[in-house]
Structures are given as structure tokens and as C-alpha cells.
Amino acid sequence: MSEWDSDKQSEWGDKPVESEARGARGGLFGSRKPSMPPETGRDWRLIEKLVMSLQAEQRRSRRWGIFFKLLTFGYLFALLFMIRAPFGEGVGATVGSHTALVEVSGPIAADELASADNLVGALRAAFEAESSKAVVLRINSPGGSPVQSGYVYDEIKRLREEYPDKKIYAVISDIGASGAYYIAAAADEIYANRASLVGSIGVVAGGFGFTEAMEKIGVDRRLYTAGDNKAFLDPFSPEQEEEVAFWQSVLENTHKQFIEAVRQGRGDRLADDPRLFSGLVWSGEQAVELGLVDGLGSSSWVARQLVGEEELVDYSRSRSPFQKFVDQLGVAVGEGVATRLMESRLELR
């Protein structure tokens, strides 16, 4: 029934206007229907359009709500996957003969990409692969923890004995110093660029002393310990000569371990130079003359000229996209600055 057929009085627009002949009879029921002005129909059509537009807007809102919910669930699922898989293997199944590549990049530490766990895992996979003919250890690192470097050094020596027919070459790019050279010394041969930085065979440990600054600003140090040496080398307490002497003996002992590892790895190729283990760093050309490096060449040159398999397949561990994103936010930088300020770390340099 349309608005024109309703017996109810209209509540919108102008009121109906009855005919002058109010008593005249007509129509199905013997009474004349009221005639309605055109404005009333336009009002109803506007109301109808408004209701339809509201319904369409609600449908669009529901569709967008469903879309954003699905997008949120997908994001959370991807984030959970990246957190549960912090590291990825460098290579899965490979086909064909190739030269295996393992990267030693950045600081060598337990919480870094160049940790012993990551490097040892990659080296084992590279040696165990039947289609790999040799292993290239590409190094670009200033060094780091002597413990982590020692783990990798020992594992390389073990793998060389287990796979005597598969050689491992260390190739230094920008820098292979300190703990990084410690690792390189375990390889069969070492190569570098003429401008590479090589060596720095030494040990360093540093910290800060705040006693004078505390006196100037009026701060008292209140330290309670059980054990005579529990506050060993405390940066907020005056330096003690006996503690410094003991710590120096620890550094010298670690230095001797470093020197012995290099001598075992390089053997008679080392030159008789008293500066060799003084902590100095050398260019690639100088390192060749000192016997620290066997020659000049890149990773691709070694694979092509020495191994005979030009194709390089990377077995290195890599960070997940989530960890890369966190590092880009500067979290790692902030933690590193705080560690440097508050702790004394033993490192090979």
C-alpha cells in the first residue's frame, strides 16, 4: 500500500487538503479521499534514500572490520613465526658440486650473529655436504670473545681431521683481526686483499674509574661483600695494585693461548719478527711478508683457482626479519653502549 492509499493522517509535510465538497460521496466506501500535496511524496523518498544509505554504510563498515581483523591475525601469526625461528639455515638441499661458504661477520660474541653456535653449525653443515668440495671461511670481523673464537678454532681443527680430503680456506675482506684472526689461523690457508687489516694478536680489557668524580659531587660508595676479592676491580672503588697485577696475569695467560693457537695453525710460515704478537695490525701485503697470510685473493678467486668449483653456496646462519627489524630500531646499539659503560669485557685485540 502506498502513502496515497493510507487512511492515516500524514505526519510528514503539509496536512492533507480536503475537497470543498466535504459531504460529497465517492470512492469505494462512499467518501472522498484526501488529496495530498507533492511535497509529502518527496519527503518519503528522501527518508527512503537516507535509510538505504545508512544500511549501505553499515555493510561497508562490517566488511572493513572483517578485513582489518584478518589483517591483524595475519600480522600476529607472522610475528609469532619469526620469533619462534630466530635463525635460519643458510642452505637446505643443494644440487651439484660447489664450494661451501661460511661468513664470519661482525663482533664475535655469544649473543651476536658470529657466535660459536652459529659458526660451528654452519661449518658442520658445509663439511658434511657431499657436494661441497671445499669450504671458504669469509671473514670481516674486528674480533671479540676469546672463548667464542676458541670454540670455533677447535671445531675447525676437528673437522679437518674428520674430513682430510676437504680443505678449508680463510679469506679476509676488510678486517680479520684479534679473535677473527684466531679463527682464521685454524684454516689450511689464509688469503686477503692487499689493503685488508690483519693481525692484532693481543688481549685487551678496559673499564672506567669514577672515584674522583664521586668525590667532587659528594657521593659515597657503600659496597658490602662476603669474600676478599668479590669486589674485584670495582670501578667505583680506588684501584688496588694487587688486583691490577692479578688481572694482568690473566691477560698474559690468555695472550699465550692466542699465540700458541696461531703458532700451531701457521707453523713455519710465520716470520721471525718480535712485533708479530705485540697487538699490531698489518695490511694484507705486510701480512703476506710476515707469514700471517698465504697470498692475496678473494673468495671467488679461491673457489675458481684453488678449489676448481666457481659456484659458491652460502651455509651461513642469518638473522630472521624480526631480529633485523629490532636491530634497526637501535635496541642493540643501546644495549651495547650500556654494556661498555658498566662492564669490563675481556677481548682479543
pLDDT in tens, 91-133: 544 468 999 999 999 999 999 999 999 999 999 999 999 999 9
Residue 28 has pLDDT above 50, yes or no: no
pLDDT in tens, 159-181: 999 999 999 999 999 999 999 99
Q: Where are the alpha helices (DSSP H) in the chain?
A: 38-84, 116-128, 146-162, 179-184, 211-217, 241-266, 284-290, 299-301, 321-328, 331-342
Give the containing element (helix H, strand E) for 199: strand 197-199
Residue 17 has pLDDT above 50, yes or no: no
Q: Sorting pLDDT into bands at 50, 70 and 90, what band is 144?
A: very high
pLDDT in tens, 49-99: 788 888 888 887 888 888 777 778 776 777 666 655 544 444 544 468 999
C-alpha cell, 155: 671445531
Which residues, including other chains, have CB under 8 Å from residue 79's CB and lie 6 or more apart?
Answer: 322
Q: 335 or 46, which is more confident?
A: 46
Tell me 334's DSSP state.
H
Q: By percentage, how much of the chain surpasses pLDDT 70?
A: 74
Q: How far is 247 from 164, CA to CA, in rounded Å?
A: 40
Give me the amino acid identity at 210: F
CA 202 to chain centre: 29
Residue 306 has pLDDT above 70, yes or no: yes
Q: Are 197 and 177 in contact (CB under 8 A)?
A: yes
DSSP characters over 235-256: TTS---HHHHHHHHHHHHHHHH
